[in-house]
Amino acid sequence: MPQMRDIRLLGEPFLPGALIGQFTQANPGLGGVCTFVGEVRGGIGVEALELSHYEPLTLPGMNALADRAFARFDLMGLLMVHRIGMMVPGEPIVCVSAAAAHRRDAIDAVDFCMDHLKSAAWFWKREKRRDGWHWIEPRTEDHADRARWGN
Amino acid sequence: MPQMRDIRLLGEPFLPGALIGQFTQANPGLGGVCTFVGEVRGGIGVEALELSHYEPLTLPGMNALADRAFARFDLMGLLMVHRIGMMVPGEPIVCVSAAAAHRRDAIDAVDFCMDHLKSAAWFWKREKRRDGWHWIEPRTEDHADRARWGN
Amino acid sequence: MTIRVVFLGRLADIAGTDAVELALPEGQIDWDGLLGMIGAQMAEVVHAETVKLALNGAVLPDKAALVASAGDEIALLPPVSGG
Amino acid sequence: MTIRVVFLGRLADIAGTDAVELALPEGQIDWDGLLGMIGAQMAEVVHAETVKLALNGAVLPDKAALVASAGDEIALLPPVSGG
């Protein structure tokens, strides 16, 4: 069965529901779909968030991550969409969705991709707070999360 | 912050996208939402699937599972919707969605609920194949999946 | 003076019905009494450790400790097959 | 005879720009040569082990082994902060 792959960087807001609906339709016969949607958190003093990337590395890096997910898990399809640019609280930043015959592959693939996107993908994030812009470095937990997968 | 909980047994087909959209709206300020949707698998000779339950145990059991998920993970909201009755391939059987400030809680809560729904919830499943109806017992992997959580 | 016995999953196929009302002349019934009233084939199947019993919606830790009275509902629960 | 140097993340704040074109009179430049052309403050920051370097879109295993020629693009990459 052909594998369905949809890896994108988006400069404009997106609706996860629309992406996931199309993605699920494109994977007939699946057993389960796991999806994670990350949003800009509200209520913690963040007024805006800007994600920058380096074109020659970022999209190839996401595709290489997808290659590894397909090699590691038994997947029918993988969707990985990441925002770049300026966002406000409540806006989706990232949507990863994996379709598989069995739920364990779908859930683990999403977990794997999110852990690597968080600490190993070529994105730089800064947050605007009342006192101005602050660059964000990965949290210790993010490195620990990635280490679970043996790299 | 109040926790949002939506636990349901449904006798009719449902659209996961509609449930998840409402659920996400009901949890402002979240950091991430993880969702798993299980469907009746197609292409493996299953013509129909029937899920039966025992009313006095099934819904209380799902609520007790939700209690445990809220106690174990730092969640803002949890949606757990399960079909009962007759279904055909491609129809959603189960939708579990967890909203949290941090992705690890959201992903792990979905993983936890699915493992327990698969092997410990009060559902009985039978599949109609060309040669008639067959009762399905849990797979060994389902028990192993649940054992990961220490019970 | 009856109890209701509900058969779940494949037990309903064996019973040929989802539930029966059993007459309870003595007003109470224990596990052995129940086995004697549901037929030899069903008795053998539900004797297996994997079959659980719920009395009025609560699963008993030990089904052999069953004591049911008129008006109660007993459910016989084979292994679940999940979501 | 120039190379392009791209500053990512907080390095762009330090540089005051996303990228510069540097004249390359000798046609080639190595890591020490690059450090000498980007200012003392930036040189100190990018010297840190956590700052990576990409040459024409490929991350170098050892940035100190850099040899870049006219027309190349060098990117200086501070620690990423993920999705």
pLDDT tens digits, one per residue of B9-22: 999 999 888 888 88
**D contacts of A54 (beta carbons < 8 Å):** 6, 8, 54, 75, 77
Closest CA to A91 of A57, A54, A40: A40
**A contacts of B110 (beta carbons < 8 Å):** 34, 107
Closest CA to A99 of A119, A74, A116, A132: A74
> Considering chain A, what is the average pLDDT of its residues?
90
Residues above pLDDT 90, as percent of chain A: 67
Residue A29 has pLDDT above 90, yes or no: no
Nearest CB among D6, D54, D82 relative to A123 is that of: D82
pLDDT digits (tens, 9 = 90+) for A90-103: 999 999 999 999 99
Binned at pLDDT 50, 70 and 90, residue B2 comes out as low
pLDDT digits (tens, 9 = 90+) for A105-125: 999 999 999 999 987 789 999
Residue A147 has pLDDT above 70, yes or no: yes
Residues B119, B137: Cα–Cα separation, whole Å = 9
3-state secondary structure C1-57: CEEEEEECCHHHHHHCCCEEEEECCCCEEEHHHHHHHCCHHHHHHHHCCCCEEEECC
Contact B32 A43 (CB under 8 A): no
B67's torsion region: left (phi>0), alpha (psi -120 to 50) or beta? alpha
pLDDT at B137: 77
pLDDT at D33: 95
**B contacts of A30 (beta carbons < 8 Å):** 39, 41
Domain CATH number, residue B69: 3.90.1170.40
Shortest CA gap A69–chain D (Å): 17
pLDDT at A28: 73
Which domain range does residue B137 map to? Answer: 4-147
**Structural domain spans, chain D:** 2-77
Contact C82 B121 (CB under 8 A): yes
pLDDT at A44: 81
Residue that wins the pLDDT comparison between B134 and A142: B134
Backbone angles phi, psi at A106, to 5 degrees: -65, -45
> Does residue A99 sit at the D interface (CB-CB below 8 Å)?
no
Residues β-bridged to residue B52? B124
**A3-10 mean pLDDT:** 92
Contact C80 B123 (CB under 8 A): yes
Q: Does domain D2-77 have CATH number 3.10.20.30?
A: yes
Domain count, chain A: 1
**B80-109 mean pLDDT:** 95
Q: Mark whether A and D touch (3+ CB pairs within 8 Å).
A: yes
pLDDT at B1: 52
pLDDT at A148: 85
**D contacts of A97 (beta carbons < 8 Å):** none
pLDDT at C52: 95
Q: What does the pLDDT profile of chain C (83 residues) look like in tens digits?
A: 899 999 999 999 999 999 999 999 888 999 999 999 999 999 999 999 899 999 999 999 999 999 999 999 999 999 987 55
Q: In what order do the strands lie in the sheet with B48-53?
A: B85-87, B48-53, B123-129, B132-136
Residues A20, A36: Cα–Cα separation, whole Å = 10
Q: What does the pLDDT profile of chain D (83 residues) look like in tens digits?
A: 899 999 999 999 999 999 999 999 888 999 999 999 999 999 999 999 899 999 999 999 999 999 999 999 999 999 987 55
pLDDT at D82: 59
> Considering chain B, what is the average pLDDT of its residues?
90
Residues above pLDDT 70, as percent of chain B: 97
pLDDT at C65: 95
